[in-house]
Amino acid sequence: MRTQTKLIGMGAIVIVMLAGIIVLVVLDDVEGPLICEVNILPVPPAPEDRISVTIYAINPSGVSRAQLSWSINGEEWASKDISFFDGQCIAGGRWVGDFGPVQEGDSLDFYATAYDSSAFTNPTDTRTFSFEISP
């Protein structure tokens, strides 16, 4: 009986320690994903093109989703979730989205945002990219 009591006590201690470690890891993630690469096609965009944006994002807690935001000719910003395309590792992968078509004379501004899988879904934005569409 004493052996069982000792094992139960040791098991309880291990569970409490593991729970503490998990809480520290989850609460320690206060930064959004690292966006390590952004690819834009075509460059430069031409009239009637759709703009394709690919980001590669990683985070220790994983990447839960990504979003593409754009404004054409200074109008209100539009946004849409972009698709997870390929996982290079358990902590992230490649996200692909597009918008358009664009017209001659359009002025484009756009950026992507990746969100981590932590309890806080911390975001990270790419820089804003700008293009003028000419023939």
pLDDT tens-digit readout, 76-115:
999 999 999 876 666 788 999 999 999 999 999 999 999 9
Predicted local confidence at residue 37, as pLDDT: 93
65/59 Cα distance (integer angstroms): 12
Q: How many CB atoms lie within 10 A of CB 70?
A: 23
18 shares its domain with 45: no
Number of domains within the chain: 2
Give the pLDDT score at 1: 59
pLDDT of residue 7: 64
How many C-beta atoms lie closer than 10 Å to residue 79's C-beta?
A: 15
Which pLDDT does position 78 carry in this prediction? 97
Give the domain CATH number at 50: 2.60.40.10
Residues 18 and 38 in one domain: no
Q: Are residues 63 and 83 in the same domain?
A: yes
> Locate tokens 């098991």: which residue?
11
Residues 108 and 86 in one domain: yes
SS3 11: helix
Which residues in the chain come in under a pLDDT of 70?
1, 6-7, 9, 16-28, 87-90
Query: Do residues 15 and 53 share a domain?
Result: no
Same domain for 54 and 7, yes or no, is no
Whether 127 and 72 share a structural domain: yes
Spatial distance between the Cα atoms of 50 and 31, rounded to a whole number of angstroms: 32
User: Whole-prediction pTM value?
Assistant: 0.77
Domain of 14, in residue numbers: 1-29
